[in-house]
Amino acid sequence: MNKDISIMMVDDDEKTLLGLSIILKTKGYTKQQILTDAEKVIPEIITNKPDIILLDLHMPNVCGLDLLSKIKKDFPEKIVIMITGDDTVDVAIKCTRLGASDYFVKPIDHERLFHVIENSIEEKNHKQELLEIQQHLLDNTVTQSAHFSNILTENTGMKKLFKYIEAIAQSNRPVLILGETGTGKELFAHAVHNVSNSTGNIVTVNAAGLDDTAFSDSLFGHKKGAFTGALQNREGLIKKAKNGSIFLDEIGDLKPQSQIKLLRLIQENTYYPLGSDISETNTARIITATHQNLEALISEGSFRNDLYFRLQIHTIKIPPLRERRDDIPVLTKFFLKRACEELGKESPAIPNELYDLFNNHLFLGNVRELEMLLYDAAIHTTGDTLSLDHIKRHLALTSSGDSAKAKEVWGDFVSMYELPTIKNSTNNLIDEALKRCDNNQKKASSILGITRQALNKRLSRRDEPSTS
Ligand SMILES: Nc1ncnc2c1ncn2[C@@H]1O[C@H](COP(=O)(O)OP(=O)(O)OP(=O)(O)O)[C@@H](O)[C@H]1O
């Protein structure tokens, strides 16, 4: 937590002020200003620019509520916490309505005060960051496109993600990358790291299969003798990622104890190597990724809600390949060319039929599946045109799995609150089929399992009112 903030304390009772000052100093808040004269508050805010003002409600000459209202009007960004001897709901409500962040009754509960100060600062920083991100997103152009050159895409949604990554580049908060397996989460993690222009390296830790000791040891390191077999000091990966990024992949598999340690690391920004009682400071940005649904894991009790809350502040959700089919041609050409170069072959011509096949496939393995399919096809191609035999076999083999997944992807009628009408369903199906075939009605009718004439008839009838 940042203790570099400045706090102004205003009370006509000097004793209360001194007591508060000492308590806040013990917590590390050393930038303080004490005022017993409420009339000086406004000029002192202008001169000293405090972040937080602890304001007594009852002072001579000045009404605390009026002063609160004036501060919030002239300096809306200031955090004002009210302090009073009155324990009445009415006053508390008035204070919060006028913009006070909280309201304390004397004697002050110090622990709650620290908590409120930390939360208010956190909230203020978060709002400021969101404002900067929004500002950045208003401008549509990606300014550091070189950092995204490994992520091939023609898709507008993906390009918006690049823009978002640029917008959060300077934030030191964690970044969570979500996406099905093979969507490119690792590529995105590297892009997040590169765009931030940090001086350190990106270091990857795969949380899958790591028990808590292995996780702590990898991340935090240990001191010689910390456990049997710890024959010498070992530097943790967080230290190796100094001033860079630590990429925690498969975060959904993190064990409960490790989740607590990660939460503490994020909250305090410090950690203890195993066997050491001297804390170290983390300077690496934390990037996490998972293909799992963390909210579902929270519901079943295997993932901590408070950790998720911290991790998800900047979330990048990569769409599956089936939701950005406009990326298939560019990726296909790229992977085929790369495979042929590796195999020392000339790149074969790509038959149009290939895209028809791909456009009807769910690609549950996403980009990785496409990459492997093309590598395999390149191996088995002997002529000038890409052989589709292996691809067709793969698609046929996986299509039974696809149909089970299709239900999950496109929704189960049982879970629908309101069923679509038959007419709407038919129209939607036709639109989707036409979209997948670039409006080629012959191909669309074949996907839909009807003749071209039948498709035509349905198209011409689509705007007629339903009769039954
Ligand atoms: N948009 C893209 N452009 C070029 N290559 C890509 C793209 N997306 C993914 N790839 C490639 O696809 C493969 C899988 O990507 P990556 O390993 O980043 O996926 P992932 O989401 O981390 O998968 P997993 O969850 O299984 O770890 C890699 O070889 C990667 O280079």
Q: How confident is the model at residue 384 (pLDDT cuts 50, 70, 90)?
A: very high
182 CB under 6 A from ligand 1?
Answer: yes
Q: Which of 152, 187, 206, 248 to mutate to test the pocket of ligand 1 (most atoms within 8 A of CB)?
A: 187
Query: Does residue 454 register a pLDDT over 50?
Result: yes
Phi/psi of residue 202, nearest 5 degrees: -100, 130
Please give the average per-residue pLDDT across 227-248, as a whole number: 91
Query: Does residue 417 register a pLDDT over 70?
Result: no
Å from CA of 179 to ligand 1 middle = 10
Residues 199 and 299 in one domain: yes
Say if 2 falls within a structural domain.
Answer: no
Residue 408 confidence (pLDDT):
53
Say if 415 falls within a structural domain.
Answer: yes
| 333 contacts 192 by C-beta, under 8 angstroms | no
**Could you tell me the end-to-end alpha-carbon distance of the chain, in angstroms, rounded to an integer?**
65
Residues 304 and 337 in one domain: no
Q: How confident is the model at residue 414 (pLDDT cuts 50, 70, 90)?
A: very low
Give the gyration radius of the chain's Cα atoms: 30
Q: Which of 148, 186, 204, 292 to mutate to test the pocket of ligand 1 (most atoms within 8 A of CB)?
A: 186
174 CB-side CA count, 13 A? 25
Residue 148 confidence (pLDDT):
93
Phi/psi of residue 363, nearest 5 degrees: 50, 65
Query: Does residue 405 register a pLDDT over 60?
Result: no
153 CB under 6 A from ligand 1?
Answer: yes
Q: How confident is the model at residue 21 (pLDDT cuts 50, 70, 90)?
A: very high
Say if 28 falls within a structural domain.
Answer: yes
Strand partners, 294: none
Residues 92 and 198 in one domain: no
Q: Looking at 291, 319, 347, which one is the last position of a domain?
A: 319
Q: How far apart are the C-alpha atoms of 311 and 242, rounded to whole Å?
A: 20
Query: Does residue 416 register a pLDDT over 60?
Result: no
Å from CA of 358 to ligand 1 middle = 18
Residues 288 and 350 in one domain: no
Q: How confident is the model at residue 322 (pLDDT cuts 50, 70, 90)?
A: very high
Tell me the H-state helices in 12-108: 14-26, 41-48, 64-74, 89-97
Please give the average per-residue pLDDT across 256-265, as a whole number: 94
Residues 397 and 264 in one domain: no
| 166 contacts 145 by C-beta, under 8 angstroms | no
**Sheet containing 202-206: order of strands:** 202-206, 245-249, 285-290, 175-178, 314-317
> Which of the given ranges, 126-130, 323-327, 425-429, has the highest pLDDT on average?
323-327
Query: What tens digit of pLDDT does each residue of 75-130 get?
Result: 988 999 999 887 777 888 888 899 999 989 888 898 999 999 988 888 888 888 88
Q: What is the mean pLDDT of the chain?
A: 87
CATH number at residue 204: 3.40.50.300
Say if 132 falls within a structural domain.
Answer: no
Residues 112 and 195 in one domain: no
Concatenating the DSSP letter of every residue in 148-167 gives: GTTS----HHHHHHHHHHHH
Please count the other Cβ atoms lying within 10 Å of the Cβ belonging to residue 10: 25
CATH number at residue 382: 1.10.8.60
More confident residue, 141 or 404: 141
Å from CA of 334 to ligand 1 middle = 13
Domain count for the chain: 3
More confident residue, 468 or 212: 212
Tell me the H-state helices in 234-327: 237-240, 256-268, 294-299, 305-311
185 CB under 6 A from ligand 1?
Answer: yes
Query: Does residue 409 register a pLDDT over 70?
Result: no
Residues 73 and 186 in one domain: no
Say if 105 falls within a structural domain.
Answer: yes
Q: Which atom of ligand 1 has the smallest separation from the CA of 189?
A: 18
Residue 466 confidence (pLDDT):
57
The burial of 242, by beta-carbon neighbours within 10 Å (0-12 exposed, 13-18 middle, 19 or more buried), is given as middle
236 CB under 6 A from ligand 1?
Answer: no
Residues 22 and 120 in one domain: yes
Nearest CA to ligand 1 atom 5: 151
371 CB under 6 A from ligand 1?
Answer: yes
365 CB under 6 A from ligand 1?
Answer: no
Residues 12 and 120 in one domain: yes
Q: How confident is the model at residue 309 (pLDDT cuts 50, 70, 90)?
A: very high
Say if 131 falls within a structural domain.
Answer: no
Å from CA of 368 to ligand 1 middle = 6
Please give the average per-residue pLDDT across 434-452, as a whole number: 82
Nearest CA to ligand 1 atom 23: 182
CATH number at residue 68: 3.40.50.2300
Say if 182 falls within a structural domain.
Answer: yes
Residue 400 confidence (pLDDT):
55
Residue 440 confidence (pLDDT):
85
Please give the average per-residue pLDDT across 186-200, as a whole number: 94
Query: Does residue 404 register a pLDDT over 80?
Result: no
Please give the average per-residue pLDDT across 352-380, as a whole number: 92
204 CB under 6 A from ligand 1?
Answer: no
Nearest CA to ligand 1 atom 29: 368
Q: In angstroms, how far apart are the furthest CA atoms of the chain?
A: 95
Say if 441 falls within a structural domain.
Answer: yes
Name the pTM for this structure: 0.72
Q: Which atom of ligand 1 has the smallest separation from the CA of 291?
A: 25
Å from CA of 70 to ligand 1 middle = 55
Query: Does residue 20 register a pLDDT over 50?
Result: yes
Query: Does residue 463 register a pLDDT over 80?
Result: no
Q: Provide the token pair at 196.
A: 């931030």
Q: Looking at 253, 284, 319, which one is the last position of a domain?
A: 319
Angle at 367 between CA 322 and CA 303, to 5 degrees: 85
72 CB under 6 A from ligand 1?
Answer: no
Residues 196 and 84 in one domain: no
Residue 237 confidence (pLDDT):
95
Residues 154 and 89 in one domain: no
Residue 415 confidence (pLDDT):
44
Å from CA of 183 to ligand 1 middle = 5
Phi/psi of residue 458, nearest 5 degrees: -65, -40
For 109-118, 139-148, 268-277, 450-459, which range has the lowest pLDDT when averaged over its residues?
A: 139-148
Q: How far apart are the C-alpha atoms of 144 and 151, rounded to whole Å?
A: 13
Please give the average per-residue pLDDT across 52-74, as a whole number: 90
Q: Looking at 90, 124, 158, which one is the last position of a domain?
A: 124
Residue 468 confidence (pLDDT):
46
Residues 257 and 276 in one domain: yes
Task: Say which amino acid occupies 20.
Answer: L
Q: Which of 156, 367, 374 to mutate to test the pocket of ligand 1 (most atoms within 8 A of CB)?
A: 367
The H or E element that residue 369 is part of is helix 366-380
Nearest CA to ligand 1 atom 26: 181
| 263 contacts 174 by C-beta, under 8 angstroms | no
Å from CA of 162 to ligand 1 middle = 16
Residue 268, domain extent: 145-319
- Three state DSSP letters for 110-140: HHHHHHHHHHHHHHHHHHHHHHHHHHHHHCC
Nearest CA to ligand 1 atom 13: 368
What 3-state DSSP class applies to 109? Answer: coil
Angle at 225 between CA 224 and CA 227, to 5 degrees: 120
Q: How far apart are the C-alpha atoms of 173 and 167, rounded to whole Å?
A: 13
